[in-house]
Amino acid sequence: MNLYRQRKPQTQENSMIPLINVVFLMLAFFMILGQIERSDAVRLDPPDSLSLEVQGDYTATLLITAQQSLYLNDRPLRREQLSGEIRRILEAAADPQSVRVLVKADASLPATELRLVLARLRTAGLLRVSLATEALGVASPG
């Protein structure tokens, strides 16, 4: 009577399975992580543009919805508070002339409202403003 079972020798193929599992898990993790990007506080449909130029670093981001709501760095803001908040950003900056604000306005926002907001930014002392647009023929994410 045999009390012990004889073990089959472990093949190299069996010892590779955990390694393959880990590699596939890491692949899935980085594929998902690569798709994640920071989103704005509200969903906007930016106006179309023929320009493909992308500009870099911004000190702050101002969102303007179709309902004319303002968000500065993803925080809701009343129109009356905009100039004061921009002045605070300029005062906190080491070089106020290097402060750049990206304005993301909804495409359905009336141009007159956008002009009023841009005028408030100018009177607050802001010198560098960029308007975010979407290249023609490019679908917005989401």
Distance from C-alpha of 73 to C-alpha of 62, rounded to nearest angstrom:
6
pLDDT mean values, one per 10 residues, the chain (142 residues): 66 77 92 73 64 70 89 90 91 87 87 90 89 65 46
Distance from C-alpha of 99 to C-alpha of 101, rounded to nearest angstrom:
7
Q: What is the pLDDT of residue 76?
A: 92
Domain segments of the chain as ranges: 1-142
**pTM of the predicted structure, to 2 decimals:** 0.61
Q: Is 86 exposed, middle or buried (0-12, 13-18, 19+ CB in 10 A)?
A: buried
Q: What is the pLDDT of residue 23?
A: 94
* Displacement of CA 115 from its chain's centroid (Å): 24
Q: What is the pLDDT of residue 41?
A: 63
Dihedral angle of Cα 83, 37, 53, 74, to the nearest 10 degrees: -10
Q: What is the pLDDT of residue 38?
A: 66
